[in-house]
C-alpha cells in the first residue's frame, strides 16, 4: 500500500490521502478537532446528529436516505470519537468505487458534495438550527448515553474513568454527560456550531481508488464555503505522570457477575514515550491470548472468561477489565497486580515476548486491509505529527527488547480500582 500523503488544502484543513485499488468502496472522513471538556462534549456530539437530520437541499431524513439510495447505498454517518483529550467530530462517508457501478457512474463528487452540504448548509429556521431537530436529537443523545450505561462492562469502565479522572477532561465520555446533554438549547447550539466551523482545525481522510488530484478538487469545490476564521490549534491532552495512593471504589447493581475495572498511569515513561515499547508491554501483560492476564487469571486460575488490558498512549494510561464472581474480586485483583509486578521484575519468557511482538506486528500490519483501521490510525497519528505507515510502525515494534518492556512496566502505577458487585438481597 502506498504511504499516506498529508497536505494542507485550505487554512487549517489537512487532507490525509491514501491511495489503493484494493477496496471496492471509497472512504472519506471529515473531522473537526476540538478540546474535550465536560462543558462542551455533549454539544459537540449533538451537533453532528442534528446536522445529519437535514440540509437545505434535502431538508429531512427521508430525502437524505433517498439520495443515499440513488448513490448506490452510500453511507454518510455522524462520527464522534475521542483521541486522548481531543474530541473529534464530523462525518464519515463510504461509497462504491466507480469501477463496480453500472456504466462506471461517477458518484465520488456527488457523495463529497452531500457530505459538505450536511456539514455546511444545514436546514435552518430563522437562521437557527431547527428546534424540532435539536429537541429530538437531544432526546436521542440522552438515550444513547443511557444505553451505554445498560451494558455493564461499558458502564463499569465509564464509571472508573469518571472517578479516576474526576478533575480531568479525560473523565468525560465522547457523548458527554446526561446532565449536560439534557440542557442544550437551540440558540446556544447554533452559536456553538458556527464557532466550530470557523475555528476548529479539520482533518480529512480519504482512502480509495481516486487519484489525489480528483479527490482534492472535489473537496475544494464542495468545501469552498467553509468559513475559516482564526484557527484554534490548542486542543491537546494533559498527561499526568504522578498519582497518589491507589483509590478503591465499589458500587452495587443487579448483576450476576462482578465487573472489575482497574486504572493505571503509565508514569514517568510518558516524559519521552516510546509508543512501540508501550504497545509491546501491553501485549505481554494483558493484550492478547498469550498475555500474562489471559494465561494466568483465565487459564491457570479459571477465575474469569475475560481479563485484558488496553492502553491510551495519548493520555498515558492503562485499563484492565475482567468479569469475576463477586467473592473472587480480591483474588482476581491481587493476581492482576502480581502479574504486573512480574513484568516489572523482568519475569518475561522469550516465548511471551516473541508471541506478544508477533501478535502486535500482525495486527498492526493487518490495519492496511481495513479502511476503518486506517482512518483511526492516521487521524490519531496526525495529532502528534507522526506520519509513519502501519508497516513502518510494525518494524519499530519488532525491535523492542525485554529491557524496553521492563522499563515501561516499572513505571506503571495503580491509580484506581472500581468493582461493580451484585445487590445483597438478603441485606435489604
Interface positions, 114-133, toward another protein (CB under 8 A) = 132
The residue count for binding another protein (CB under 8 A) is 77
8 A C-beta contact, residue 218 and residue 95:
no
Which is closer to another protein, CB of 135 or CB of 407?
135
Ramachandran region of residue 198, left (φ > 0), alpha (ψ -120 to 50) or beta? Answer: alpha
- Judged by CB, which is closer to another protein: 298, or 313? 298
Q: Which of 35, 37, 75, 199 binds another protein (CB under 8 A)?
A: 75
The answer to whether 390 and 364 are in contact (CB under 8 A) is yes
Beta carbon nearer to another protein, 33 or 348? 348
Instruction: Enumerate residues 376-395 that contact another protein by CB under 8 A.
Output: 391
Q: Return the residue of 159, 365, 407, 413 that touches another protein, per CB under 8 A.
A: 365
Contact 67, 58 (CB under 8 A): yes
For residue 327, state whether it binds another protein (rule: CB under 8 A).
no
By three-state DSSP, how is residue 229 classified? Answer: coil
What CA–CA distance (Å, rounded) separates 90 from 78?
6
Pairwise CA distance, residues 165 & 316, whole Å: 13
Closest approach of another protein to the CB of residue 319, in Å: 17
Query: Using the rule CB under 8 A, is 184 a contact of another protein?
Result: no
Q: Which of 6, 9, 10, 101 binds another protein (CB under 8 A)?
A: 101
Q: Which of residues 34-73 bind another protein (CB under 8 A)?
A: 49, 60-62, 65-66, 68-73
Scan residues 128-167 and list those touching another protein (CB under 8 A). Answer: 132, 136, 139-140, 143-144, 146-147, 149-153
Q: Smallest distance from the beta carbon of 364 to another protein, in angstroms?
A: 9
Binding residues among 335-364 for another protein as defined by CB under 8 A: 351, 354-355, 358-359, 361-363
Mark residues 185-224: x for contact with another protein by CB under 8 A, - for none: ----------------------------------------
**Single residue of 187, 253, 338, 386 touching another protein by CB under 8 A:** 253
Q: Would you say 143 or 211 has its CB closer to another protein?
A: 143
Query: Does 177 sit near another protein (CB under 8 A)?
Result: no
Using the minimum distance from each CB to another protein, give the nearer residue, 83 or 142.
142
All three cell numbers of 389, joined, read 505507515
* CB nearer another protein, residue 60 or residue 274: 60
Cell of 130: 431547527
Phi, psi angle pair for 309, to nearest 5°: -120, 155
Residue window 260-299: x/- pattern of binding to another protein, with contact defined by CB under 8 A: ----------------------------xxx----x--xx
Kindly give the pairing relationship between strand 13-19 and strand 5-10. antiparallel
Amino acid at each position: 500500500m502506498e504511504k499516506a500523503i498529508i497536505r494542507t488544502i485550505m487554512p487549517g484543513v489537512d487532507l490525509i490521502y491514501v491511495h489503493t485499488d484494493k477496496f471496492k468502496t471509497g472512504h472519506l472522513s471529515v473531522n473537526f478537532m476540538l478540546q474535550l471538556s465536560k462543558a462542551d462534549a455533549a454539544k459537540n456530539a449533538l451537533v453532528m446528529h442534528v446536522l445529519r437530520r437535514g440540509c437545505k437541499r434535502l431538508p429531512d431524513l427521508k430525502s437524505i436516505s433517498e439520495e443515499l439510495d440513488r448513490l448506490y447505498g452510500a453511507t454518510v454517518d455522524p462520527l464522534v470519537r475521542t483521541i486522548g483529550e481531543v474530541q473529534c467530530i464530523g462525518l464519515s462517508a463510504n461509497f462504491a468505487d466507480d469501477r463496480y457501478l453500472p456504466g462506471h457512474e461517477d458518484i465520488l463528487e456527488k457523495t463529497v458534495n452531500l457530505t459538505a452540504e450536511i456539514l455546511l448548509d444545514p436546514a435552518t429556521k430563522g437562521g437557527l438550527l431547527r428546534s424540532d431537530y435539536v429537541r429530538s436529537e437531544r432526546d436521542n443523545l440522552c438515550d444513547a448515553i443511557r444505553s451505554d450505561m445498560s451494558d455493564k462492562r461499558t458502564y463499569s469502565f465509564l464509571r472508573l474513568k469518571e472517578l479516576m479522572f474526576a478533575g480531568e477532561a479525560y473523565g468525560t465520555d465522547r457523548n458527554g454527560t446526561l446532565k449536560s446533554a439534557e440542557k442544550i438549547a437551540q440558540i446556544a447550539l447554533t452559536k456553538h456550531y458556527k464557532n466550530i466551523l470557523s475555528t476548529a482545525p479539520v482533518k480529512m481522510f480519504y482512502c480509495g481508488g481516486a487519484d489525489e488530484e480528483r479527490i482534492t478538487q472535489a473537496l475544494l469545490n464542495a468545501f469552498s464555503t467553509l468559513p475559516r476564521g482564526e484557527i484554534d490549534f490548542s486542543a491537546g491532552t494533559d498527561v499526568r505522570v504522578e498519582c497518589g495512593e491507589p483509590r478503591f471504589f465499589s458500587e452495587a447493581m443487579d448483576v450476576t457477575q462482578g465487573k472489575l475495572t482497574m486504572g493505571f498511569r503509565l508514569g514517568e515513561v510518558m516524559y519521552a514515550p516510546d509508543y512501540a515499547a508501550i504497545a509491546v508491554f501491553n501485549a505481554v501483560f494483558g493484550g492478547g491470548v498469550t498475555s500474562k492476564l489471559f494465561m494466568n487469571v483465565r487459564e491457570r486460575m479459571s477465575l474469569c472468561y475475560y481479563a485484558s488490558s488496553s492502553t491510551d498512549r495519548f493520555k498515558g494510561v492503562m485499563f484492565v477489565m475482567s468479569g469475576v464472581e463477586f467473592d473472587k474480586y480480591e483474588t482476581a485483583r491481587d493476581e492482576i497486580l502480581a502479574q504486573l509486578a512480574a513484568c516489572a521484575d523482568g519475569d518475561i519468557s522469550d516465548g511471551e515476548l516473541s508471541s506478544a511482538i508477533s501478535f502486535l506486528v500482525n495486527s498492526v500490519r493487518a490495519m492496511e486491509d481495513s479502511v476503518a483501521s486506517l482512518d483511526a490510525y492516521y487521524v490519531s497519528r496526525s495529532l502528534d505529527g507522526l506520519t509513519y505507515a502501519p508497516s513502518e510502525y510494525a518494524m519499530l515494534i519488532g525491535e523492542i527488547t525485554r529491557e524496553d518492556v521492563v522499563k515501561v512496566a516499572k513505571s506503571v502505577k495503580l491509580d484506581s480500582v472500581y468493582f461493580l458487585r451484585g445487590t445483597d438481597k438478603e441485606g435489604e
